[in-house]
Structure 1
Amino acid sequence: MDCYIYFKAGTALEEKVIAAEKSLHQQVLAQLGVRGKLQRRPESANDLHTWMEVYANVPDDFAEQLEKLLQQTGLAELQYSERRAEYFLDVDVCA
């Protein structure tokens, strides 16, 4: 199962968001063994960037574990909008 999390944050906070995300991704890799990827939409709207965290092959309790790690980064205080998480499973269409 893969996890996609998106949120918005002010464009002026870009460096702080990246630093907090780096810390979060390091903790997720060290404690959960899951490598994350960070993406941002190329354009901004109303002085806001839309950010996307992508985590592949996450465990069933990933949301709870990630929430605990998130609190240690200060990322939640930088966000303009709520974090929205969506989960997807791979489907084998070649079988």
Structure 2
Amino acid sequence: MMNCYIYFKADSGLEADILKAEKQLQQLLMSRHQICGRVQRRPAVAGVPHTWMEVYHNVPSGFDILLNRVLEQTLFADLQYSERHIEYFLDVDVCV
């Protein structure tokens, strides 16, 4: 299993809309696929778009395809924001 990190930028004026879309996305992922994510945002800087981060632990292979299908059914479909950058990482145990 892998961990998935997704970040994107959106105008600070979209914060309320992004939060609604994230809530909808997280509820759909949990109810349909039993995947629970976390949402984070960088601290606000005046005049700079917000950077958002979604974090998903222990996702299956092909998670990005599953996620894209769910995204099409959320409020994200109508929002203007930057490209979503998706990265996967594996845990490495160095405490042995």
Is 1:10 matched with 2:22?
Answer: no
Are the counterparts in 2 of residues 44 and 50 from structure 1 also a CA contact under 8 Å?
A: no
Are the counterparts in 1 of residues 24 and 75 from structure 2 also a CA contact under 8 Å?
A: no
The residue number in structure 2 matching 1:30 is 31
Note closer, same or farther for the CA distance 1:24–1:12 as it changes in structure 2 (3 Å cut). same
The residue number in structure 1 matching 2:64 is 63
The residue number in structure 2 matching 1:49 is 50
SS in 2 for 1:56: strand
Question: Runs of 5+ in structure 1 lacking a partner?
Answer: none
Distance in 2, matches of 1:68 and 1:80, equals 18
Q: Root-mean-square deviation (CA), in Å?
A: 1.3
Distance in 1, matches of 2:63 and 2:19, equals 21
Note closer, same or farther for the CA distance 1:79–1:52 as it changes in structure 2 (3 Å cut). farther
Aligned length: 95
4+ residue stretches of structure 1 with deviation over 4 A?
none
Are the counterparts in 2 of residues 4 and 54 from structure 1 also a CA contact under 8 Å?
A: yes
Deviations 1:16-58 (A, max 9, x none): 0000000000111111111100000002364410000000000
* Amino acid of the structure 2 residue aligned with 1:25: Q
The residue number in structure 1 matching 2:22 is 21
Question: Runs of 5+ in structure 2 lacking a partner?
Answer: none
Note closer, same or farther for the CA distance 1:32–1:41 as it changes in structure 2 (3 Å cut). same
**Percent of residue pairs bearing the same amino acid type:** 55
SS in 1 for 2:60: coil
Is 1:87 matched with 2:88?
Answer: yes
